[in-house]
Structure 1
């Protein structure tokens, strides 16, 4: 077998494997984790049933790889946002608007799959690391925006990410027109709130009595 033919076969194999992972995520969004079977994934990907067992050792392996695949795609998007943030191309307010735009561009199917994966990973410790990696990266990005505005409160980044996730969860739970300006204003209000909190907290006083 020539090297050219070998490379071509490897490329086709990678393409089919990614097709199966995308199909798995589509099924998770449509039917939940319980809807993922070898047969349903193969049908969604329009490939022979044997393809799933060729590329994946088990159903759990296929789901786990799909989780990692989804988290890698999300990580790449966050890295692109980080590049924009670190370039200093815009104001902190512009960074918030850019982040809201990322949320706006995310499809409902992707968001549903995201929360399905969060719940699934909470019951499967081996997959939890993928979700924690994205949450940590998102918090770090939120912390970067906050620090630009002088906010160093250790609770601020986690609060901002929880706000964004809550907005996303409500977006898929309610059949109403999404008001992304509401999210942008909420993020600005949170920013102002932490700035004010820092300014009004006495030196040496705990930022929260519940720490």
Structure 2
């Protein structure tokens, strides 16, 4: 038996959003269509266009939701650091990179895919940049604004290269660039 339908189906929009996330994480932007989302969410096709008239609206909503989830996770991570030395921050960031690569590979791939798509689709830029903005905010609590911006860019580079590499990075592959930025005199 399919999911509840009609006006007594208050969870329909949520199922559409969850289905969109699953499709994006598994198949990327190229796999996203109203038809695929309707099938995955077990709702009539018209339901997806009722809530999201265009694919860009659907993509934007899903991206924001994924970004907000990442932001909550990153803020929790940052709060748990407490007072930390720069050397300690290098190790904590290396742990974060290793955890993200191991546990959130699909979400990382999608975040970079969205960033690339935003280069040609300006309507996606705000959503795509939420990841980096959250990183800068969280890192800014543990260092100055200039260093936080640089760290965010270094993290993006580390993650992007790690995702594309045939083998996972070593610990020193990760800590080296971070230490060069945070503890250059050590």
Q: Same fold (TM over 0.5)?
A: yes
Tell me the equivalent position of 1:123.
120
Pairs aligned (count) = 175
- Of 137, 141, 144, the residue aligned with 1:144 is 141
Q: Compute the TM-score of the two structures, normalised by the length of structure 2.
A: 0.77
Task: Return the index of the structure with the highest Cα Rg.
Answer: 1
Q: Secondary structure at the match of 1:114?
A: helix
Q: Which residue pairs with 1:203 in the alignment?
A: none
Tell me, yes or no, if structure 1 residue 94 matches structure 2 residue 94. Answer: no
After TM superposition, the structure 1 = structure 2 runs for residues 1-211 of structure 1, keeping only pairs within 5 Å, are 9-10=9-10, 12-27=11-26, 30=27, 32-43=28-39, 45=40, 47-50=42-45, 51-85=47-81, 87-88=82-83, 90-106=84-100, 107-147=104-144, 154=146, 156-193=147-184
Deviations 1:137-193 (A, max 9, x none): 31233333334xxxx7x3x33322221111111111111133234212321222123
Report the Cα distance in structure 2 between the residues aligned to 1:182 and 1:141, rounded to whole angstroms. 23
CA RMSD of aligned residues (A): 2.7
Q: How far off is 1:80 after superposition?
A: 0.9
SS for the counterpart of 1:95 is helix
CA drift at 1:116: 0.7
For 1:202, the equivalent position in structure 2 comes to none
**SS of 2:53's equivalent?**
coil
Greater relative CO (CA pairs within 8 A, separation 6+): 2
Which blocks of at least 5 consecutive residues in structure 2 are unaligned? 1-7
Residue 115 of structure 1 and its aligned partner are, at CA, apart by 0.6
1:110, distance to aligned residue in structure 2 (A): 1.3
Change (3 A) 1:35 1:13: closer
Q: CA deviation at 1:125?
A: 2.8
CA contact (8 A) 1:146 1:157 kept: yes
Task: Compute the TM-score of the two structures, normalised by the length of structure 1.
Answer: 0.69
CA shift, 1:9, in A, is 4.2
SS in 2 for 1:175: coil
